Amino acid sequence: MRDRDMSLSGTMIWYYTICPRQVWLMSRQLNPDEDDPNLEYGRFLHERSYRKEKKELRIGSNAMDFVDMVDGTPVVIEVKKSSRTAGSARLQLAHYLLTLEEAGIKVKGQLRFPEERRREDVVLDDGLRSQVIAAREAVRRIIDQDRPPQVERTRWCSSCAYAGFCWA
C-alpha cells in the first residue's frame, strides 16, 4: 500500500462524490461548522446506534465506524443516517475495504441505516475496486490544486456544514 493512499480518508472519498470543494477544504484542515444540526445529529446517531459495538477502527487517516464478526468473518460496518447518500457511502466503505485489502487484511463490508432499519452488504468486486481507484486519483488531483474547485450549487448545499465557505 502506498503512503499517499493512507493519507486519503474515507470521509474525503465520501465528500468527493457529494462536493469536490469539500475535499479541498478538508485537506486544508478547514473544518465544517461543528454546530451544524446535520453534523450534530450524525454524531448523536453514531453514538446511540450500536452502543455495544466498539466504535471507530482507525487505520492511517481512515476512521471506520466499527468491525463486527459475522459467521466468523470480520465485517467493516459504516453507519449512515440516510440511504439518500448510499452511493457515496458505498464508495467510502469500498475505500476502507481496499485499504485493508492492500494491507493484507480480507474483510467484508456492510452499510447500515439504523433509522430505516436497513442494511446493505458491500462486496469489493473489480468494478467497485476500479471506482475507488478512480476516486482516489480524483481526490489527489483536487488536493493538489492551489485553489478550491469553483462553487457549484448542488442538491446537498442546503444541508451542508461547509455552506459558510461557499455562500457567505
For residue 109, what are the CA distances in angstroms to 74, 77, 83, 120?
Answer: 8, 6, 16, 9
Residue with cell 481496499: 98
pLDDT at 2: 44
Of 108 and 45, the structure prediction assigns the larger pLDDT to 108
Backbone φ/ψ region at 132: left (φ over 0), alpha (ψ -120 to 50), beta: alpha
Burial track 97-134 (b if 16+ CB lie within 10 A, e otherwise): bbbbeeeeeeebbbbbbeeeeeebebebeeebeebbee
pTM: 0.85
Q: Where are the domains of the chain?
A: 3-167
Q: What is the largest CA-CA distance in the chain?
A: 51
Give the pLDDT band of residue 3 (cuts 50, 70, 90): very low
The pLDDT tens digits of the residues spanning 22-70 come to 999 989 988 776 676 666 666 666 666 665 666 678 888 898 988 888 8
Domain 3-167, CATH class in plain words: alpha beta
